[in-house]
Structure formats: structure tokens, C-alpha cells
Amino acid sequence: MRAILQRVRQASVTVDDEVISSIGRGLCVLIGIHKNDSQPDIDYIVRKILNTRLFEDASGKRWHLGVKDAGLEILNVSQFTLYCELKGNKPDYRHAMGGEAAQQFYQTFLTQLRNQYNGDKIKDGRFGAMMQVNIQNDGPVTITIESPKKMDKTGNSEEV
């Protein structure tokens, strides 16, 4: 799994000219799902999203609190293009998990995130839809997190 964490002052998702989800201060997280991802990848990414220290504490000390400790919101957006590989100038998405499997995996991810935090603070876009994501970055602070690569029996990486 790949997650792009963006610290935001506010963020929203619009589909067909309708705002379907929005948050105030917190994180906007773009989520990419690799075709070989499994439950341990969800465990790792959820832990990192909730606990990576990107926020200041009450005294103003920077990089001291995770989104969970700060009690802030999270807007998640599924984005298969995070597993794009260019073939010349043509995008190739063969490393991304496909359709229904990806949707189920993404729902499992959201459920786990809600179970480990305050479910009311977890928002998401619409899986598979063409979305307009509006973000007011804070900082800007943008962090890329990737679950550890798995090795096959010969010691070769299974991911990109």
C-alpha cells in the first residue's frame, strides 16, 4: 500500500458538482492499493496514518502529535494512479489492485481506520468515481508512506 499524507487546514471531495465529504484541520490521505497487498499492509498503513507526528502540541512544539493524538479529522481518497508505471509516455497501472477486489480492500482499510480511531472523524471520497479533491495544505507538509515490500521465495521484491 502507498499513502500520501497531506496536512491540511481543510479538504473536500466533490462528485458531480456535489460536495460529498469534507473535513476541517487534519489529514487528506491519498491511498493506493498494490495488487499483492494484504491485511498486514492495512495494519501498517493505518498505524502510520494515525501516529505519524505531523502536528504541534498545545505548547506549539512542532512534529509532536499524530492526527489521533491531536483529535483531528482524516479525509481518505482512493487513488489507483499511485501505482502508475510509465512505459515511455503511457501510464501503466498493472501494479494496482483491480476493481472489486480493490474496493473491498479499501472498505476493509476504512473499517480498520474507523475502529482504531473515532469513526466520526474518518471521511472518504467515492471509490471509482471521478472526484474533484480540494485541499488547503498546511505547511505544506506532504509525506509518502509505503508498506514494507514483500519478498518472494527467491528473495526478490514482489512490488514495483
Provide CB contacts within 8 A for 141, sequence distance 6+. Answer: 5, 6, 7, 54
Catalytic annotation, residues: 79-81
Residue-by-residue DSSP string for 23-74: ESSEEEEEEE-BTT--HHHHHHHHHHHHH---B--TT--TT-B-HHHHT-EE
Helix (H, G, I), strand (E, B) or coil at 81: helix
Rounded distance between C-alpha atoms, residue 73 and residue 13, angstroms? 14
- DSSP code string of 101-117: HHHHHHHHHHHHHHHTS
